[in-house]
């Protein structure tokens, strides 16, 4: 095994430990932020793979982003307490997943960029909620 490959594997293992540690010590608000960040990161990875014509890596990264959106962000919604807002966010998460499927099938960078923009706006709003919540404590 080359040193470069060993270093990449070590970095990947370290990264996984860092994420696991962050998840185990994060409050629910921070966990949602981590989901937004993870989805945005995976879409960025998919975009880079698309530029490099690495179809398997693009597909894997888009699949991970969809997984985060559908089984992380959407599942975290409380449809009873959240009412109309939760319904709208659920529909938006479904739309994002559909756009990412389209991006994967049609190698569409604009569709990826659209989802990143939506996620970034939601992440910013979620950060503001946390800031406001901290101010009232």
Q: How much is the pLDDT for 130? A: 77
Q: Is 123 within 8 Å of 37 (Cβ atoms)? A: yes
Q: How much is the pLDDT for 66? A: 98
Q: How many angstroms separate the CA atoms of 20 and 85, rounded?
A: 30
Q: Is 49 within 8 Å of 57 (Cβ atoms)? A: yes
Dihedral Cα 27, 32, 35, 39, nearest 10 deg: -160
Which residue has 């009412």 as its token pair? 83
Give the chain's residues under pLDDT 70: 1-26, 131-137
Q: How much is the pLDDT for 137? A: 52
CATH code matching the domain that covers 27-135, chosen among 2.30.110.10, 3.30.390.50, 1.10.540.10, 1.20.120.340: 1.20.120.340
Q: How many angstroms separate the CA atoms of 21 and 50, rounded?
A: 31
The alpha carbon of 72 is separated from its chain's Cα centroid by a whole number of angstroms, namely 9
Q: How much is the pLDDT for 6? A: 42
Longest dimension (CA), the chain: 55
Q: How much is the pLDDT for 10? A: 45
Count, residues in the chain = 137
Q: How much is the pLDDT for 106? A: 98
């Amino acid at each position: 095994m080359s040193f470069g490959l060993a270093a990449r594997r070590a970095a990947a293992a370290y990264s996984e430990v860092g994420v696991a540690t962050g998840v185990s010590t994060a409050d629910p608000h921070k966990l949602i932020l981590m989901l937004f960040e993870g989805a945005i990161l995976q879409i960025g990875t998919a975009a880079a793979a698309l530029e490099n014509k690495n179809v398997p890596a693009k597909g894997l990264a888009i699949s991970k982003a969809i997984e985060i959106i559908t089984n992380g962000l959407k599942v975290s919604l409380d449809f009873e307490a959240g009412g109309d807002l939760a319904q709208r966010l659920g529909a938006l998460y479904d739309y994002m997943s559909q756009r990412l499927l389209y991006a994967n099938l049609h190698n569409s960078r604009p569709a990826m960029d659209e989802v990143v923009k939506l996620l970034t706006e939601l992440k910013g709003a979620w950060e503001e909620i946390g800031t406001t919540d901290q101010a009232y404590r």
